[in-house]
Amino acid sequence: MRGLREELATWRRDMIRSTGLAPATVDRYVGDADRFVTWLRGQDEEATAADVTAQDARDYRTALLHVGRAPATINRALISLALFLDAAGRTADNPFRKIDRIAVVEGTPRAVTQADWLAVRRAAARLVPRDHGLALALVCLLCYAGPRVGEVAALRLPDARISARRGTLVIRQGKGLKQREVPLVLEAREPLQDYLAHRRALAERWARQAHVYDEPVPEWASWPDGHLFLGQRGPLGTRGIRQIVGKLGQAAKLDTPLSPHDLRHTFATALLDPTAYGVERPPLPLTAVQDLLGHADPATTARYTRATPAALARLMGEPDGLS
């Protein structure tokens, strides 16, 4: 009967040879299993894969908890060990497939504070002479309308319907191919209107260039049906959007990197907790926020209702630095 170290070495070779997993992934799986083998040999020096019991699995899970391992780390270890024992021939009675995982309480999505948002907006405003308002229109749309980054990249000019007093953003390629409409408040409309003047000039420039070379105007550059946001060489994609937002976060000297999804979270949080952003109006109903975000499951939207430490401090009368 082979010992656990031999079983582990065989498993590693088999994964490298036949699974196509990245070397780093194989190392994580094997590392999880190796730590278990070390622990088990402290209980039984001669133990083999056939000797591992459900009680061993439970005791190891408890041992990981006692040394302070995070729930996600413990659950990954349990998955690795289930795979290891499957490979060692325990598919019919695998003890690591019979024990419960550690419950992970999903945290509240990260939203930027009012002060940080104002710093980001100022950083975008400083770029207007150079980028003609692209960054400012982009971050204001993310923060005041809450589209996903992929939805922004897919926007066409007709999807931004703006008049003197109102505006609507039409999301045609939402998650699950669902279409929705989001009202555009003044804070989103004004920067977008300024950028659209430049966007029209871009269309005219592309048309002149196409005429010189006797070529058709690129479909994505045309007016009034092309893509809404353009980069230097074509439609602004998700990577370009993330780069712009990330650089604004750096310019604003935020403590942590800024992503487009952080601004989407800020949009949702401000709807449900307007006081935190200096807005004097009642919170929106959860169902309304669900519709605006395009969530299929209300439980996803409900994550935003969990009280953050800053919100709890504010409710208890402590300042939280948002004003």
Residues annotated as catalytic (active site), given as ranges: 148, 175, 261, 264, 295, 304
Name every residue whose Cβ is closer than 8 Å to that of residue 176 and which is 6 or more positions away in sequence: 296
SS3 assignment, position 183: strand
| Separation in Å, CA 180 to CA 111, 129, 189 | 23, 33, 18
Name every residue whose Cβ is closer than 8 Å to that of residue 200 and which is 6 or more positions away in sequence: 223
Helices of type H across the chain:
4-18, 23-43, 54-66, 71-87, 114-126, 128-131, 134-145, 149-153, 186-212, 238-251, 260-272, 286-293, 298-302, 309-315
In angstroms, rounded to a whole number, what is the distance separating the alpha carbons of residues 108 and 193?
Answer: 33
Nearest CA-CA partner of 196 in 175, 167, 172, 223: 223
Name the token pair of 171: 């999301």
